[in-house]
Structure 1
Amino acid sequence: MTSSPSTPSSNPRATMSWALRIILAIAFIGAGIFKLSGHPAAIEEFNQVGLGQWFRYVTAVTEILGAVLLLWPRTIFYGAVLMGAVCVGAFVAQLTALHGDIIHTIVLAVIFAIIAWKWRAQLAASPLLDSRR
């Protein structure tokens, strides 16, 4: 059985890209579900942030949406940008209200920036930016 150049089995970088995006998606889908579940720790964290519980729901849905977008090849760029924005928001929350660990938000933001950069061609191919319409 031969593999085409685009299949992950024939390209170690493609395999690593898929694996990384799957791991990130699983982690952020889990984090989003945790927030939506109303766990006391999630409620307390968002109380500390001070924006209300509606922001917990918005954050959870954004995390789940971004994670799903990372898995669909046509939307990887958009998922990475959305998740990068979530990381920036988490960084600000950690600095201003939670006073916790900021290194994870920085590392994740850099990873999402790299993914977005790698898939930036999707932005140029977007029908939303087509000036011929």
Structure 2
Amino acid sequence: MTVLSIVLQILLILYYLFSGTAKVVGAKYWSEMFQHLGLPQWFRVVTGFVQLAGAAVLIVGYWYAGAIGWAGIWLGVTMVAAFFVHLKAKDPIGKSSPALVFATINIVLIVIHADELIHPFA
């Protein structure tokens, strides 16, 4: 595992643990954000659990490097979808770009661990 991969994993784990937990518990910021985006509050909770699951798989990736690529796919798709939801809501680029940045970080992890996707627990 490369230093770049480890650093990106740490960054993503911290972000998704924080963000996922805040969504699940109903932090004001996220409740208002989902309302602004026209999404139901139950979807905020589902999104939070998706992020927490992705963070858990990233943690497993320290023992099984192939899991990192699958977590990157799982979370990357989520972030691309978030970016398009922000665009649909006509949010300014400042509100839309974090989702795109996190999608890009996930893509980098996917590329780094592409060879391990076939055997994630080898």
| Distance (whole Å) between structure 1 residues aligned to residue 26 and residue 100 of structure 2 | 26
Q: Does 1:56 align with 2:44?
A: yes
Name the counterpart of 2:101: 107
Q: Structure 2: state its 5+ residue gaps.
A: none
| Larger radius of gyration between Structure 1 and Structure 2 | 1
Deviation at 1:103, TM superposition (A): 2.2
What corresponds to 2:82 in structure 1?
Answer: 90
Structure 1: runs of 5+ lacking an equivalent: 1-5, 7-13, 128-133
Give the deviation of 1:29 after TM superposition.
0.6
1:131 equivalent in structure 2: none
Residues 57 and 90 of structure 1: CA distance in aligned 2, closer, same or farther (over 3 Å):
same
Instruction: Give the TM-score, by structure 2 length.
Output: 0.82
User: Which stretches of structure 1, 4 residues or more, deviate above 4 A after TM superposition?
Assistant: none
2:32 counterpart of 1:44: yes
Tell whether the 8 Å contact from 1:45 to 1:98 is kept in structure 2 after alignment.
no
The residue aligned with 1:33 is: 21
RMSD: 1.9
Q: For the residues of structure 2 that align with 1:98 and 1:36, how far apart are their CA atoms?
A: 25
Aligned length: 115
1:117 equivalenced with 2:111 (yes/no)? yes
